[in-house]
Amino acid sequence: MTIRRAIIEDALSLSEFNQKMAFETEAITLIPEVIDAGVMAMISNPQMGFYLVAEEDDEIQASLMVTTEWSDWRNGLFWWIQSVYVKPDFRRKGLYRQLYLRVKSLAETETGVCGFRLYVEHDNKAAQNTYRSLGMQETEYKLFEELKTDIRFCQD
């Protein structure tokens, strides 16, 4: 298993992973052109963050995305882990653990990173157990959002 940063040639696979993840976790069908452009934008603009991919037999089997959030309280950056996807045949085999440990390793070389965050569906108990086993703790926060009225990312 090789874990590496995604490159532009990985964009279609990452877009496909995002579409599958959105449908599996939230029954949302993403608009392909929007997610394709979003993935390309992330890879093309490393200041926004990065993707890591887990590759075996020259094929991507799992991925995650890392974005940043400034914490004035801690005078540091949180790395947000998002868009986690592992192909069904590779689940429960430690691929996410390997990706997470690479994120931690990369963060150790980056001054200013103060920790990691992610959000998870309330009912996704398997993922929650995995995150706990890696040392993450559930917080007291709930997530709220409001999208601008002209933002469309999924099919109705």
Beta pairing, strands 76-86 & 50-56? unpaired
- Each residue's pLDDT tens digit, 37-57: 999 999 999 999 999 999 998
Query: Rounded mean pLDDT of the chain?
Result: 94
Return the percentage of the chain with pLDDT > 90, whole number.
Answer: 79
Distance between CA atoms of 71 and 141, rounded to whole angstroms?
15
- Each residue's pLDDT tens digit, 20-29: 999 998 899 9
**Domain parsing of the chain, residue ranges:** 2-133
Beta pairing, strands 76-86 & 113-118? parallel
Helices of type H across the chain: 11-26, 32-44, 95-109, 125-133
pLDDT beyond 90 at 62: yes
pLDDT grade for 8, boundaries at 50, 70 and 90: very high
At the fourth CATH level, which superfamily is domain 2-133? Gcn5-related N-acetyltransferase (GNAT) (3.40.630.30)
Q: Is 151 exposed, middle or buried, given 0-12, 13-18 or 19+ CB atoms closer than 10 A?
A: exposed
- pTM, entire model: 0.91
Task: For residue 63, give the nearest of 43, 79, 84 by alpha carbon.
Answer: 84
